[in-house]
A and B are shown apart, each in its own frame.
Chain A
Amino acid sequence: MTGLIIFGLLLVLMLTGMPVSIALGLTVLTYLFTMTTVPIESVALKLFTGIEKFEIMAIPFFILAGNFLTHGGVARRMIAFASSMVGHYHGGLGLSAVFACALFAAVSGSSPATVVAVGSILLPAMVKQGFPVRFGTGAIASGGGLGILIPPSIVMVMYAVSTNSSVGALFIAGIVPGIVLAFMLGITTWWIARRNNYPRLKRADWATRFRTWRKSVWGLMLIFLVMGGIYTGAFTPTEAAAMSAVYAFVVAVYVYKDMPLSRVPRVLLDSANMSAMLLYIITNAVLFSYLLTYENIPQQLAQWMVDTGLGPIGFLLAVNVMLLLAGNIMEPTSIILITSPVLFPVAMALGIDPIHFGVMVAVNMEIGMITPPVGLNLYVASGISRLGMTETTVACFPWLLTMLVFLMMITYWPTLSLWLPRTLGMM
């Protein structure tokens, strides 16, 4: 009952269009003032301690690194490399876009950033080459979703923080599913292009491939810096994020020289702006989950779920549907922070692996990025292509279906995500 009141209040406040963070905070305050005797001082304390965790600090670092990479010419060189490798197959630049998204996703933690980085360069080129805008927009908007699944991933850090899972294990677990999904999206692109006979590039010779590889190697090395560092235990994920931010800065300003030093303050400010917004949601979400825990709601829900005999299979299906619906109207950070304190205990009670559950949540968020009305990738892609939102959505449809198939695979075949971290002994 209390749970219904709390979530009902939150829903009403959110639907008025106020920022999600404010809606979360006001829900807590309203509830505390009117319904309980929890001392308000404990709220104040929570506001201080909510984000005092070193793991959370990976988020600003990854955002900063991603911004340096986006503006620093790393994406451009990765695209050149990708198109020299796969451009001669059916789908040409479209396939290159998916490949480039996957590469860029492996150095950047954010999905819209991937769309911007790859889309703003490749989409005009594709249109020029005679691809329909729709095809290009669809390929890039959905390929950009890989940013969430392929580590490093800000969404995964969020999940790990709000459920106390290991960021490192989650990152490693994202690798195999990420590659599989990139492959599936690539096949979709290839298939559509083959049926419609879209242009292909001439096969690049090995000298060109080597040349483009050498130019992009500074960006590609970041993959090994982050993942290698985390896997070997050389860095904690947060340290790896800080290292990659410094590395991306050096590459952008001194190696590629695509970004003048004078633009650095601007990038810093933009990154700070974005990270502060996310950290602010986290602070208030911590408050919210404190309230839930205080009222024993997750435990009650878990008990109820176990009693109904829904079982893991039904529960996972319900979670998928719920997250996909939520993905339609909210952005990933808020969804994860609001739902995981409730869903996670239930999943644990049903014996679902926390890492597997996390990968599944990440895939759901990824699909949410390309489903209307609130899909950040759609906004970004429609901004680049100047297609309307409806058309962009339709354009993404074939890739959306692929992702849904992939989601079913991830959900009911845990080995796909758990094999690598188990083999590497990380869990």
Chain B
Amino acid sequence: MLRILDRLEEWLIAFLIGAATLLIFVAVVHRYSLDMSAEWGWDVLYDWLFVIDLSWAQELCIYMFVWMAKFGAAYGVRTGIHVGVDVLINNLPEWARSKLVLFGLLAGALFTGLVGTFGANFVWHIAHTEQTSPDLEVPVWIVYLAIPLGSYLMCFRFLEVAWSFFRTGELPRHEHAHVEGLEEEVEQAQATGRPEPVFLGESITLAEEREHIHGGHSEHAGPTDDHGPESNDRGEGRP
């Protein structure tokens, strides 16, 4: 059940960002091909394009991103991307630190829970009016439903993370230095017996060529040398 929720959340936000990008792209292309066909007198194309009205694209894009922002923020709690000022608490003794971390997570749950409730209230009131959005003309309350739904989900995620921190002492942590796909590439290269990962490609070869020409500096280099990019994975050792 939770698994389904997780996947659903991931699919929803990935879909929203992709679809919004395509939407704006299509709207821009449409605008320019309309102008161009008018200029060059391609009446058939013009008439065909003219019928398509994309004036709602901006509004839909905004709504899609608002939805993405609300649900993505909930997903972000799960991946630990919401950063805070952790300089002070990281220098505290462990018992104090874990108390403060727990406090922070519960404060997150409190805030999102409150916001969710305000939002639900607001949506409830607005659902009894005839208010619709300016371009799309959908009822506004459907659009704004993102706030209570997203906030409650986020609240749930905060509680989830708090509970697992309480039990195991582990927090999800977002790796900024992590390069997606780099490790697989290296592993693949090693598995198939290719000498070096494709990512280092040209610059390494270039460097090697030069190295022989210069003659000076041979294979005594630092620790990153042979392992190359796979070190990204574990590298972010915070002090």
- Expressed in whole angstroms, the minimum distance between the Cβ of B108 and any Cβ of chain A is 5
Q: Report chain A residues within 8 Å CB of B81.
A: 273-274, 277
Partner of B144, one of A48, A235, A239, A384: A48
Partner of B83, one of A25, A331, A373: A331
Q: Report chain B residues within 8 Å CB of A87.
A: 206, 210
- Expressed in whole angstroms, the minimum distance between the Cβ of B94 and any Cβ of chain A is 14
Please report which residues of chain B, range 202-218, place their CB below 8 angstroms from some CB of chain A when the two chains form the complex: 202-204, 206-211, 213-214, 216-217
Is B101 an interface position by the 8 A CB rule? yes
Which of A53-61, A295-303, A357-365 contacts its partner? A53-61
Partner of B114, one of A29, A64, A127, A390: A29
Q: Report chain A residues within 8 Å CB of B111.
A: 22, 25-26, 29
For A40, the closest partner residue in chain B by CB is: B118
Which among A19, A22, A201, A279 has the highest number of chain B CB atoms within 10 Å?
Answer: A19
Interface size class of A (residues with CB under 8 A): 35 or more
Complex contact B88–A15 (CB within 8 A): yes
Q: Report chain A residues within 8 Å CB of B69.
A: 51, 275-276, 279-280, 283
Complex contact B66–A51 (CB within 8 A): yes
Complex contact A270–B180 (CB within 8 A): yes
Q: Report chain A residues within 8 Å CB of B82.
A: 19-22, 277, 280
Complex contact B71–A276 (CB within 8 A): yes
Is A47 an interface position by the 8 A CB rule? yes
Which of A259-267, A344-352, A402-410, A415-423 contacts its partner? A259-267
Assembly CA distance A277 to B107 (angstroms):
17
Which of B36-44, B45-53, B222-230 contacts its partner? B222-230
Partner of A125, one of B175, B200, B236: B200
Is A242 an interface position by the 8 A CB rule? yes
Q: Report chain B residues within 8 Å CB of A265.
A: 14
Is A207 an interface position by the 8 A CB rule? no
Assembly CA distance A193 to B90 (angstroms):
37
Task: Decide yes or no: A245 and B21 within 8 Å by CB, A16-B89, A374-B87 being known contacts.
Answer: yes
Contact digits for B147-187, partner A, Cβ 8 Å, 1 yes 0 no:
10000000000000000000000000001111111100000
Task: Decide yes or no: A239 and B28 within 8 Å by CB, A16-B104, A48-B144 being known contacts.
Answer: yes
Which of A115-123, A162-170, A176-184, A316-324 contacts its partner? A115-123
- Expressed in whole angstroms, the minimum distance between the Cβ of B209 and any Cβ of chain A is 8
Complex contact A272–B235 (CB within 8 A): no
Partner of A19, one of B70, B83, B90: B83
Q: Report chain A residues within 8 Å CB of B115.
A: 25, 44, 47
Complex contact B72–A272 (CB within 8 A): yes
Complex contact B14–A384 (CB within 8 A): no
Complex contact A273–B75 (CB within 8 A): yes
Task: Decide yes or no: A268 and B210 within 8 Å by CB, A239-B28, A273-B81 being known contacts.
Answer: no
Complex contact A271–B17 (CB within 8 A): yes
Interface SS of chain A: helix, strand, loop or mixed?
A: helix
Complex contact A48–B147 (CB within 8 A): yes
Task: Decide yes or no: A269 and B13 within 8 Å by CB, A20-B84, A277-B82, A389-B238 being known contacts.
Answer: yes
Complex contact B182–A242 (CB within 8 A): no
Is A339 an interface position by the 8 A CB rule? no
Task: Decide yes or no: A235 and B28 within 8 Å by CB, A76-B201, A93-B207, A268-B14 being known contacts.
Answer: yes
- Expressed in whole angstroms, the minimum distance between the Cβ of A52 and any Cβ of chain B is 6
Q: Report chain B residues within 8 Å CB of A92.
A: 210
Complex contact B236–A383 (CB within 8 A): yes
For A330, the closest partner residue in chain B by CB is: B85
Assembly CA distance A128 to B118 (angstroms):
58
Is B221 an interface position by the 8 A CB rule? yes
Complex contact A13–B107 (CB within 8 A): yes
Assembly CA distance A21 to B85 (angstroms):
11
Is A161 an interface position by the 8 A CB rule? no
Task: Decide yes or no: A386 and B231 within 8 Å by CB, A16-B103, A124-B225, A276-B72 being known contacts.
Answer: yes
Please report which residues of chain A, range 376-396, place their CB below 8 angstroms from some CB of chain B when the two chains form the complex: 376, 379-380, 382-386, 388-390
Is A189 an interface position by the 8 A CB rule? no
Assembly CA distance A25 to B112 (angstroms):
9
- Expressed in whole angstroms, the minimum distance between the Cβ of A86 and any Cβ of chain B is 13
Is A342 an interface position by the 8 A CB rule? no
- Expressed in whole angstroms, the minimum distance between the Cβ of B210 and any Cβ of chain A is 5
Is A112 an interface position by the 8 A CB rule? yes
Please report which residues of chain A, range 68-82, place their CB below 8 angstroms from some CB of chain B when the two chains form the complex: 70-71, 76-77, 79-80
Is A195 an interface position by the 8 A CB rule? no
Is A14 an interface position by the 8 A CB rule? yes
Which among A80, A239, A271, A277 has the highest number of chain B CB atoms within 10 Å?
Answer: A277
- Expressed in whole angstroms, the minimum distance between the Cβ of B113 and any Cβ of chain A is 11
Partner of A388, one of B79, B203, B239: B239
Given contacts A19-B84, A121-B199, 13 further A-B contacts (CB under 8 A): A19-B82, A22-B84, A44-B118, A45-B122, A47-B147, A77-B202, A80-B202, A125-B200, A331-B83, A374-B87, A382-B236, A386-B223, A388-B237
- Pull 6 A–B residue pairs with CB atoms less than 8 Å apart, ordered by A: A17-B101, A48-B119, A92-B210, A201-B206, A263-B180, A390-B239
Instruction: Give me the interface of A with B, judged by CB distance under 8 Å.
Output: 13-23, 25-26, 29, 40-41, 43-45, 47-48, 51-54, 56-57, 60-61, 64, 70-71, 76-77, 79-80, 83, 87, 92-93, 112, 116, 120-130, 133, 199, 201-202, 234-235, 238-239, 242-243, 245-246, 259, 263-277, 279-280, 283, 329-331, 373-374, 376, 379-380, 382-386, 388-390
